[in-house]
Chains A and B, each alone.
Chain A
Amino acid sequence: MSHITFDSVKISYKTSDGEVEAVGDFSAEIQKGEFIAIVGPSGCGKSSVLSAADGLLKPAAGNVYVSGEPVTGPGHGRAMVFQDASLMPWRSVESNVAFGLELRGVGKAERLRTARELVKLVGLEGRERSRPSQLSGGMRQRVGIARALAVDPEILLMDEPFGALDAQTRESMGMELLRIWENDRKTVLFVTHGIDEAILLADRVLVMSAGPRSRIVEDITIDLPRPRTREVRVGREFQVYRSRLSNLLFGEQDARTTEPATR
């Protein structure tokens, strides 16, 4: 059985001029331990799909299933990482990281111990007591990731977690995420605008069409060896995936590589 099933998920929003069907028909099967990237034009409904997977919004039609059970609300097995980190400015780093455990009623000593471990894991050792306002954008994003990992979810939902970072930080954060993910291979849904990022990180890239009524136009399996390093980028296969994805997203004229050969 697949870990996450999107069964003809349709998502609509009520606006001042009636109901808008943002996502038309989103269907996908995701296996346990898969790293899935979702790409698509801005406004096509990537965040909406992620919200539906977390149970933050209810699909207008269709259903999301996790391990065969329909998702009805935010649940223990899933944790979200937000684009703007969404940290609580009045709390210290460790207290932000411990937030999910605190909500689950884990005792203070234990949740702080776990939080400190994760702060270390994301490379922020020594900053446990800092306030979010004293951190850089990349550091804040690490806190957001640590907070999600702290509840030890089976599924990690990430909505453009590195979208607000500069290219260099973004890439090193991606590599670090992979290092962490290699430890226990959680199922990951990773929304991104970056084609390179998607190829570098994911096992499969789901490409969505522009909205309204967006759907998956392509489901590309990224057959690159793991563990991956930055070097895969210069390889020929990477370029092939890249031009295929840019074709899908921006049309033929923008494709960089001369020869989008099939393998």
Chain B
Amino acid sequence: MRTPKRKDAGAPLTTSRAGSQESAVKVLTGCISIVVVLVAWQVSASSGLVDASYTSSPLEIVKAAAELVTSGELAQNLPTTLFEFSIGYALAVVIGVPLGMLMGWRLRVRQVFEPLLYALYVTPSLALFPIFVLVWGIGTTSKIAIVFVDVLATVVINAMAGVQETDARTLRMAHAFGAGQMAQFWKIIAPSAMPTTVAGLRLGVGRGVITVIVAELYGGVVGLGVMISAYGSSFNVPPLIVLALLAGLFGLIVGSLLRRIERSVFRWE
């Protein structure tokens, strides 16, 4: 399906002063545009230009956020969602990275698992969720399972692609210097597959966060998704927006953490 691509000798590191200045400018312009939107939103809501019961307003959202925190509602629900996500995600990484690398490295392993994984990758996970609920009930376990399945496919496919993109010339060099199969894997294949693999971990965070919340929307007792579902059915818009922002923020933080790791991969020894 994929042909191994040849990679460039090395990606330049963008740690120059010009680079950081550029990113500061980017952040600043981003902030300005956000502020402009918020102000316009607040003005049009309080002047009655738009119906605030649908759109809410920034001030109302801040108020709702404070309420969610002080009432202890968030503290009651957030840990469950985080737990479900973390366990499912961690399991997917622990199993997915070695499995994906093995699949990229060994044709036989790939032949066995590839059809299954692509099937998982393209199946909307929610379609599988009722089955998981049948097996494990509506509680935490079924949500861990669905996060696992969803993240696993992403992680495996990227780890596999990373291995397959290993530069054939570098491998040949290692062989010429007497590297056996194991040494070729640990010293050449694994490190050169790292960037793509970590990119897969980052993509997995996004998918995992979406999946855990959507699964909670489907049913459950506690969790962010359960809250969203409750506020949604009573058309209480401000807390809904708070929760959506929260999920986004979480994805952003974990994602940028992994991006940091991605960059430091190029400084490997």
Contacts and interface: CB of A to CB of B under 8 A. Distances in A.
B30 interface: no
B12 A80 contact: no
5 contacts: A56-B175, A95-B269, A131-B266, A147-B177, A151-B177
Interface residues of A, number: 29
A75 B191 contact: no
B175 A90 contact: no
Nearest to A83: B169
Q: Which of B13, B170, B176, B191 has the most CB of A within 10 A?
A: B176
Given A133-B9, A133-B10, A140-B9, A90 B176 contact: no
Interface in B143-190: 167, 169-170, 172-179, 183, 187-188
Interface of B: 9-13, 167, 169-170, 172-179, 183, 187-188, 191-192, 194, 265-269
A60 interface: no
A89 B192 CA distance: 8
A89 B269 CA distance: 10
Contacts of A131: 10, 13, 266-267
Summarize A's interface: helix, strand, loop or mixed: loop
A133 B170 contact: no
B9 A87 contact: yes
A92 B177 contact: no
A90 B192 contact: yes
Nearest to A84: B169
B175 A86 contact: no
A132 B10 contact: yes
Contacts of B175: 56, 74
Contact of A100 (B172, B177, B194): B177
A56 B176 contact: yes
A99 to B, nearest CB: 6
B57 to A, nearest CB: 50
B169 A103 contact: no
B170 A56 contact: no
Contacts of B266: 89-90, 131
A43 to B, nearest CB: 18
A245 B188 CA distance: 41
Given A74-B178, A103-B174, 10 more contacts: A86-B173, A88-B187, A89-B9, A90-B265, A103-B177, A103-B178, A104-B178, A131-B10, A132-B10, A133-B12
Contacts of B169: 82, 84, 86
Interface string A242-259: 000000000000000000
Contacts of A76: 178
Contacts of A104: 178
A79 B177 contact: yes
Q: Which of B175, B183, B265 has the most CB of A within 10 A?
A: B175
Contact of B269 (A54, A79, A91): A91
Contacts of B191: 88, 90
Interface string A44-65: 0000000000101000000000
A100 B175 CA distance: 10
A161 to B, nearest CB: 13
Contact of B178 (A85, A100, A140, A147): A100
A133 B176 contact: no
A95 B267 CA distance: 12
B178 A88 contact: no
B174 to A, nearest CB: 8
